[in-house]
Structure 1
Amino acid sequence: MSTQPKEAVGAAYSIDSMRFAQAMTWQAIEQLSQRIRPGMLESEARELGKQVLADLDMQRIWHPLLVRFGANTLKAFNQRSDGDPVLGENDIFFIDMGAVWQGHEGDAGATFATGNDPQKLACASAAKELFDRVQARWKNAKVVGLELYRYAEEQAQAMGWRLNLDIKGHRVSDFPHAVHRGGDLGDFEHYPNAGLWILEIQIAHPTKPYGAFYEDLLA
């Protein structure tokens, strides 16, 4: 493993278990996204997500499950939702899950649109496209974490979106990663190794009150 202290892991760490936990997290997101419908309260979707995770035999939650509807898609992880909105017929929402399988931390998030509002559909797609561009930069150019988020901001602007630079990725590993004090990916001054970091992308529409979120493991 890495010699960088911020990439330290526990004795149980396994890249295969990291990938398994990530795959299970994506399975949970897919199942939940298919069950969220217009007319549902944000709180109802969150409770449904907890049931999906339980049904998939997750070991525990390691960060609170987030489901954000409408304008709440602009909220950062550490901000509370405004009210308990109802999902509209032409609306936008995202899911952010962090759960443990095989003693390892899965963490993933994605944005979805209901109906056929072209700008909301484009916003949801743009978060994933921007993630893909930044991940490709990581794979192909072997740049440091700081450079990844400089590049993400540049690309977001070129695509016509605003990047939330308060959201800059973070460590994961065998649970609990927090004992290693890895900090944010966007502040990491070395090349981030595979299987240790979550790349987070959160964008906002330049003029309208909604945004989109996408995150996955750099692996």
Structure 2
Amino acid sequence: MTTALSGKEAVGERFVLETMRHAQQLTWKAVDEIAKVIKPGMRESEAHARGKEILVELGMDRIWHPLLIRFGANTLKTFKERSDGDPVLGESDIFFIDMGVVWEGHEGDAGATFVTGSDPQMIACAAASKELFDKVEAFWRKGVTGVELYRYATDQAQAMGWKLNLDIKGHRVSDFPHAIYRGGNLGDFDQAPNAGVWILEIQIEHPELPYGAFYEDLLI
């Protein structure tokens, strides 16, 4: 099934909604496969290198945005910020994976947070990023604007006891390359976002401790 979209939601002639869904599924498979090999004692750079190898092994077309793997305090960094140093993952630690990969000419983008050990606050932080995503995704299904989505996300994060990082407000995807359509941020989009062309990003900070959590997925 193809979708006719225009303006900030414009897509190319090759765009097929079901292929976007397929790219989403393959991207989540890649996230899971990479998470399995990340172990305490590994450096962030080592995890990144192994992650890129796994993407090749899984048969990706190409990477469309850099693979990010953040350990510990680097989970507070936004996409455009560089990691501090090259930390070693601890026995009780937190990390996230964020990837943008092209499969069959369509852009997959997914990210999630994982925990080593049994620290209850780290576990709660990772779980909260997914819980908040689910709440905002459900709100999107009511037909609200992108602006309203992130206003709601901010209020919900506060109610849950976390701080939402509003430097991260979602973005466009489509058949590759989506960048030619200049869609801007989801959080600045003043219309109801259509399915299959927007990534909802949630990044939260622990209110007191130096780490956070990240979760993103395709709205479809």
TM band (smaller chain): over 0.9
Q: CA deviation at 1:76?
A: 0.1
For 1:116 and 1:4, the matched residues in 2 are separated by 47
Q: How does 1:1-219 map to 2 (within 5 A)?
A: 1=3, 3-139=5-141, 141-219=142-220
Paired residue type of 2:100: G
> Residue type of the partner of 1:208?
L
Counterpart-to-counterpart distance in 2, 1:164 and 1:123: 14
Q: Structure 2: how far apart are the matches of 1:156 and 1:210? A: 15
RMSD: 0.7
Distance (Å, rounded) in 1 between the aligned partners of 2:49 and 2:130: 25
Which amino acid in 1 is paired with 2:211? Y
> What is the CA–CA distance in structure 1 between the aligned matches of 2:113 and 2:206, rounded to whole Å?
13
Q: Deviations over 1:1-56 (max 9, x none)?
A: 45540000000000111111111100000011111000000000001110110011
Change in 2 beyond 3 A, CA 1:83/1:205: same
Q: Deviations 1:115-166 (Å, cap 9, x if unpaired)? A: 0000000000000000000000001x21000000000000000000000001
For the residues of structure 2 that align with 1:171 and 1:47, how far apart are their CA atoms?
26
Aligned residues of 1:42 and 1:69 also touching (Cα < 8 A): yes
Q: Name the CA shift for 1:2/1:150 in 2 (closer, same or farther; >3 Å).
A: farther
Give yes or no for contact 2:146–2:191 (8 Å, CA) kept in 1. yes
1:72 maps to a residue whose letter is N
- Partner of 1:113, secondary structure, is strand
- In 2, the alpha carbon distance for the partners of 1:7 and 1:98 equals 18
SS at match of 1:195: coil
User: Which residues of structure 2 form unaligned runs of 5+?
Assistant: none
Contact 2:5–2:11 (8 Å) recurs in 1: no
Secondary structure at the aligned position of 1:214 is classed as strand
Q: Which runs of 4+ in 1 moved over 2 A?
A: 1-4
Q: Are the counterparts in 2 of residues 2 and 193 from structure 1 also a CA contact under 8 Å?
A: no
Where does structure 1 lack aligned partners over 5 or more consecutive residues? none
Distance of 2:65 and 2:6 partners within structure 1: 25
Identity of aligned residues (%): 68
Closer, same or farther in 2 for the Cα pair 1:3/1:97, shift >3 Å? closer
* In 2: Cα distance, 1:203 partner to 1:137 partner: 18
